[in-house]
């Protein structure tokens, strides 16, 4: 049977449609994907993302050990700062893409994808490098409060000054009397926060946020909107856009691979790949013909298959059909013309710069 | 779940409004609700021939892709063109503005095999269990 987060009953009572995702019974939508998507872009949305996993590295070797399995450089971030990057295999294949929260050099929390909880924990434990590695995935409820009004909703519930909490920073604070880690992170392309609390406090935290958001147009939002929101800003989805057979360089994540930081697992393979040149690259595209490109559809050029669609959707904000696809480097330049095989019909598309959507700075 | 009494239904969740040989086709309220927000509709052209039980088009929500199955065989004589630019109509008004095609039925036997409202309701309830 699929696992349930501590908020399962609240979701059902809120009218959510539940679906199985990565072994979890999760809300895919409440009022509707488009409505929730628009709610997050213009006001705020609240997501239960407790299915995400947490693995913690502790001890004097924690920072060094984690930096050896992580492509980005944890030596470059301060305590109270989070960093995005990949865990890679020796051959450069991506075990997972994660956000690591550096509480101190001796205490770091790795937030992993739901579907990779066990795989990541085993991988990290096998590469503990003298650190104490614990799987705390069942010890945390994680809620994401996202959207331009997120700060206005959260601020009255906490004594900490949220204006001082910059992007990718986090702090410990009470929210509605509940002990939380508040991080200014997210997966929607909007301003917002991710809140970690104990499972026993999860329902109370959710209800306090819903109550605080009542006058601000806050909507509960499900995995459907989470996916369309993340794709508009070209955030990668593990399992769709990359997997164990893809390297971060191919996935367009070279910016989180610090080849000059010292040795880490996958570094040699990626150095070689960089020298030899990539055989494929993940790019953004927009369909210029009708239709929606979906994961697994063929990318065509001159009538021949040259690549594959990783993610695709109709962008609720832009109203165009967007996607990410693996193509040969020769077709990766902005403006390149490709086609997508939509159920046997070739639909014209153009390679474009990502993200597709950028929030207006206020 | 809205299941109008004056329509006929398929087990693939299409409805058919039968007026002589003219059969208007769409998807049911249950189908649109299951799909979620419809964001794309692909329909045949006037003059195309459709076959009972075979796909005549596609309806897509933000997450799911579903084939549209013809309730009867015949020639497409009308297509709801505006639907292509306003696919949300399928969610908002599945039985009226959200119609998809009109088929000129060539085989009266097809019509006899469609479900009436009561049988369709029962079918959906059983499928839900």
Please report, in tens digits, the pLDDT of each residue of chain B (129 residues total): 899 999 999 999 999 999 999 999 999 999 999 999 999 999 999 999 999 999 999 999 987 899 999 999 999 999 999 999 999 999 999 999 999 999 999 988 999 999 999 999 999 999 877
Which tens digits make up the pLDDT trace of A204-229? 999 999 999 999 999 999 999 999 99
Q: Write down the H helix ranges in chain A.
A: 8-13, 33-42, 62-67, 117-126, 150-154, 202-212, 223-232, 267-276
The answer to whether the Cβ–Cβ distance between B62 and A291 falls below 8 Å is no
Q: Is the pLDDT of residue A361 over 80?
A: no
On the CB side of A66, how many CA atoms lie within 13 Å of its CA? 35
DSSP A42-106: HSEEEEE-TTSEEEEEESTTHHHHHHTSBSS-GGGS-TTEEEEEEEE-TTS-EEEEEEEEEEETT
Q: Is the pLDDT of residue A53 over 70?
A: yes
Which tens digits make up the pLDDT trace of A325-345? 999 999 999 999 999 999 999
Among A33, A227, A321, select the one facing B37 at the smallest CB separation: A33
Summary count for chain A: helices (H), strands (E): 8, 19
A100 forms beta bridges with A83, A110
Mean pLDDT on A184-188: 98
Contacts of B63 in chain A (CB under 8 A): 28, 33, 224, 227
C-alpha distance from A33 to closest chain B C-alpha (Å): 7
B128 contact A CB<8A:
no
Among B42, B62, B84, select the one facing A313 at the smallest CB separation: B62
- Cα–Cα distance measured from residue A224 to residue A173, given in angstroms and rounded to the nearest whole number: 30
Which residue has tokens 């995935």?
Answer: A137
Which tens digits make up the pLDDT trace of A260-287? 999 999 999 999 999 999 999 999 999 9
pLDDT category of residue A360 using cuts at 50, 70 and 90: confident
The answer to whether the Cβ–Cβ distance between A292 and B61 falls below 8 Å is no
Q: Do residues A33 and A228 lie in contact, with contact meaning Cβ atoms separated by under 8 Å?
A: yes
- pLDDT, residue B127, reads 85
- pLDDT, residue B1, reads 86
C-alpha distance from B11 to closest chain A C-alpha (Å): 22
Whole-number Cα distances in Å, A246 to A50, A66, A124: 26, 21, 19
Q: What angle do CA A135, A141, A145 make, to 5 degrees?
A: 130
3-state secondary structure of A249: coil
B86 contact A CB<8A:
no
The answer to whether the Cβ–Cβ distance between B63 and A28 falls below 8 Å is yes
Compare all CA atoms of chain B with the CA of A33 and give the residue at the minimum distance. B37
Mean pLDDT on A293-304: 97
Q: Is the pLDDT of residue A355 over 70?
A: yes
Mean pLDDT on A55-72: 98
Which of A290, A293, A297, A344 is the mutation pick for testing B, counting most B CBs within 10 A?
A290
The answer to whether the Cβ–Cβ distance between B61 and A33 falls below 8 Å is yes
- pLDDT, residue B113, reads 92
A152 contact B CB<8A:
no
B40 contact A CB<8A:
yes
The answer to whether the Cβ–Cβ distance between A290 and B36 falls below 8 Å is no
Q: Is the pLDDT of residue A169 over 90?
A: yes
Q: Do residues A240 and A294 lie in contact, with contact meaning Cβ atoms separated by under 8 Å?
A: no
The answer to whether the Cβ–Cβ distance between B40 and A292 falls below 8 Å is yes
C-alpha distance from B1 to closest chain A C-alpha (Å): 15
Whole-number Cα distances in Å, B9 to A308, B61, B113: 38, 21, 9
Mean pLDDT on A82-104: 98
A292 contact B CB<8A:
yes
Closest alpha carbon to A29 in B97, B92, B73, B37:
B37
B62 contact A CB<8A:
yes
Q: Is the pLDDT of residue A362 over 60?
A: no
A295 contact B CB<8A:
no
For chain A, give the mean pLDDT. 97
Which of B39, B86, B87 is the mutation pick for testing A, counting most A CBs within 10 A?
B39
**Contacts with A250 (C-beta within 8 Å, 6 or more apart), sequence order:** A242, A273, A278, A279, A280, A281, A282, A326
Interface pTM, i.e. ipTM: 0.83
Q: Do residues A72 and A110 lie in contact, with contact meaning Cβ atoms separated by under 8 Å?
A: no
Q: What angle do CA A144, A191, A225 make, to 5 degrees?
A: 55
- pLDDT, residue B97, reads 97
The answer to whether the Cβ–Cβ distance between A29 and B36 falls below 8 Å is yes
């Amino acid at each position: 049977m699929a696992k349930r987060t501590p908020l399962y009953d609240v979701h059902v009572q809120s009218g959510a449609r539940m679906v199985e995702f990565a072994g979890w019974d999760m809300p895919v939508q409440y009022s509707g994907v488009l409505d929730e998507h628009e709610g997050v872009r213009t006001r705020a949305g609240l997501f239960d993302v407790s299915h995400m996993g947490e693995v913690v590295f502790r001890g004097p070797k924690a920072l060094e050990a984690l930096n050896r399995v992580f492509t980005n450089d944890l030596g470059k971030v301060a305590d109270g700062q989070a960093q995005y990057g990949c865990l890679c295999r020796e051959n450069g294949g991506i075990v997972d893409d994660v956000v690591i929260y550096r509480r101190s050099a001796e205490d770091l929390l790795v937030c992993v994808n739901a579907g990779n909880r066990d795989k990541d924990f085993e991988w990290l434990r096998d590469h503990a490098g003298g650190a104490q590695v614990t799987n705390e995935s069942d010890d945390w409820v994680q809620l994401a409060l996202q959207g331009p009004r997120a700060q206005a909703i959260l601020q009255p519930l906490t004594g900490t000054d949220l204006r001082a909490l910059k992007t990718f920073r986090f702090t410990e604070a009470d929210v509605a009397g509940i002990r939380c880690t508040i991080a200014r992170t997210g997966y929607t392309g909007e301003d917002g926060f991710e809140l970690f609390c104990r499972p026993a406090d999860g329902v109370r935290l959710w209800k306090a946020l819903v109550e605080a958001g009542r006058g601000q147009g806050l909507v509960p939002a499900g995995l459907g909107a989470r996916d369309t929101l993340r794709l508009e800003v070209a955030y990668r989805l593990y399992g769709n856009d990359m997997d164990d057979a893809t390297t971060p360089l191919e996935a367009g994540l070279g910016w989180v691979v610090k080849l000059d930081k010292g040795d880490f697992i996958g570094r040699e393979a990626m150095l070689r790949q960089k020298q030899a040149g990539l055989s494929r690259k993940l790019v953004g595209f927009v369909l210029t013909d009708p239709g929606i490109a979906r994961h697994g559809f063929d990318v065509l050029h001159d009538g021949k298959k040259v690549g594959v669609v990783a993610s695709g959707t109709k962008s609720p904000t832009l109203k165009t059909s967007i996607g990410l696809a693996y193509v040969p480097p020769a077709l990766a330049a902005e403006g390149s013309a490709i086609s997508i095989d939509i159920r046997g019909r070739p639909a014209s598309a153009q390679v474009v710069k990502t993200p597709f959507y950028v929030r207006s700075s206020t | 779940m809205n299941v109008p009494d004056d329509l006929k239904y398929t087990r693939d969740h299409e409805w058919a409004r039968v007026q002589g040989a003219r059969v208007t086709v769409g998807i049911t309220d249950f189908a649109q609700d299951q799909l979620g927000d419809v964001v794309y509709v692909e329909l045949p052209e006037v003059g195309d021939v459709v076959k009972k039980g075979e796909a005549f088009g596609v309806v897509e929500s933000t997450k799911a892709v579903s084939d549209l199955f013809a309730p009867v065989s015949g020639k497409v004589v009308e297509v709801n063109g505006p639907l292509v630019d306003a696919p949300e109509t399928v969610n908002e008004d599945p039985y009226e503005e959200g119609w998809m095609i009109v088929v000129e039925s060539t085989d009266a036997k097809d019509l006899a095999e469609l479900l009436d409202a009561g049988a369709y309701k029962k079918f959906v309830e059983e499928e839900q269990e």
